[in-house]
Amino acid sequence: MKTIKLRIKTKTQKYFILIGSNLISKFSKILNQNLIKFEKCLLLIDSNVPKNMSKRIIKSLKGKKVCLIFFKSNEKNKNQKTVNLIINTLLKKNFTRNDCLISIGGGITGDIGGFASSLFKRGIKFINIPTTLLSQVDSSIGGKTGINTNFGKNLIGTFYQPSLVISDVNFLKTLPKRELICGYAEILKHALIANKKLFAYLNKNFKKIISLKSPFIHKSIYESCKVKKIVIEKDEKEKNLRKILNFGHTFAHAYEASLGYSKKLNHGEAVLLGMNSALNFSNKNKLINKLEYQIIKKCLKNSNLPWNINKFFSKKDINKILSFMTKDKKNNSDKINLVLLKKIGYPIINQQYSKNKLKLFFKNELMN
């Protein structure tokens, strides 16, 4: 299938997202076509990436000085210690601002690579090669970088746009179904907040998308990226509109943190749980169109996606969940800021609720 190009234009950077198959074999050619030049590069490689895939990228960089860091990608390693390792390597190898850091991996690897790139000498060239469906449709676009702390997820970070994003669909063929569902969660989120036609397309073609059938997977990635492109071009630094991308995420981040970022619940699954909680909360507060609420709930149930928080939490966890929700970076008062839904394509931002109101909501949710 022909490579799809999506041009991103923010106030700080212009770059392309390339979507297609077998792109990494043409990496050197792609760099030349996009006028990206450097003598040295540091490859930050997720240790989960198949060796034959990373070797193809290294081979295509023949003639350039290449340094490698293999990174065990998980939320617990998404911290300042890892960032220090990257920066110290760049310093020891005498990298300049004209050189490049290339991230090869999922969203965690991309977030850390982007964050380190933004800090080193106040900004080094950064190329993101996302290797999971989740990172291809979400974290690789828009320039958000970040690391976790004991106080919560992504509380330290920067906005730093990449020079190029290469989404090679061939990477997805190496992923377990659980990882594909994680990516699908973000595609579904983009449909719910901005594109009713995409929601209908996902509802109709769910099995073909998850099975990576062409052109269904390519179209889903492209349409999802397009939603995020429109949002970040209007609001790069999340002052207003970009907040809609947090639909379900205040719940989701709290769920992840409450379980200590364990393998029981990964980010995409947490987003599915979070969106379902946001939908139920919207319904409980009579904000969402009743018919569309039922259509969305039916879609979740028919696709057998994980959406029930009862499988992960009980009433004894409520205070812990609420504690993390109150620390969420989107809050600007003692109330909890949520993104909710009126109907498909119509999110509601800056909805603030007391801790007690959410406590009652969770008590009811965890009874069902």
- Asked if omega into 215 is within 30° of 0 (cis), the reply is yes
Known catalytic membership, residue 256 = no
Catalytic annotation present for 238: yes
Measured over the CA atoms of residue 187, residue 190, residue 195 and residue 199, the dihedral's sign is: positive
Catalytic residue check, 223: no
178 is an active site residue: no
The verdict on whether 7 is a catalytic residue reads no
Catalytic residue among 2, 62, 92, 122: 122
Residue 281 has which token pair? 């909360």
Count CB-CB contacts under 10 A for residue 309. Answer: 23
CA distance 257 to 265: 10
**269: burial class by Cβ within 10 Å (0-12, 13-18, 19+)?**
buried
Q: Which of 229, 243, 253, 343 is catalytic?
A: 253
Q: Whole-angstrom Cα distance, residue 182 to residue 64?
A: 35
Q: How many residues does the chain have?
A: 368
Q: Which two tokens stand for residue 124?
A: 């080094």
Indicate which residue of 75, 236, 238, 256 is catalytic.
238
Annotation marks residue 228 as catalytic: yes
Which among 228, 229, 243, 343 is annotated as catalytic?
Answer: 228
Q: Catalytic: 218?
A: no
Catalytic residue among 78, 189, 190, 249: 249
How far apart are the C-alpha atoms of 301 and 157, rounded to whole Å? 35
Strand pairing of 125-130 and 164-168?
parallel
Q: Which sign, positive or negative, has the C-alpha torsion 139, 145, 149, 153?
A: negative
Selecting among 186, 223, 256, 365, the annotated active-site residue is 186
With beta carbons less than 8 A apart as the criterion, state whether 341 and 278 touch.
yes
Residue 190 appears among annotated catalytic residues: no
Tell me how far apart the alpha carbons of residues 10 and 282 are, in angstroms, rounded to a whole number: 32
DSSP string, 325-346: HHT-TT--SSSEEEEEEEETTE
| Catalytic residue (choose from 267, 276, 280, 365) | 267
Is 179 known to be catalytic?
no
Which of 128, 148, 195, 246 is catalytic? The answer is 246
Question: Catalytic: 122?
Answer: yes
Which tokens go with 241? 């509109």
Query: Taking a C-beta distance cutoff of 8 angstroms, is the pair 351, 339 a contact?
Result: yes
Radius of gyration of the chain (CA): 20
165 near 15, Cβ under 8 Å?
yes
Catalytic residues: 122, 144, 186, 228, 238, 242, 246, 249, 253, 267
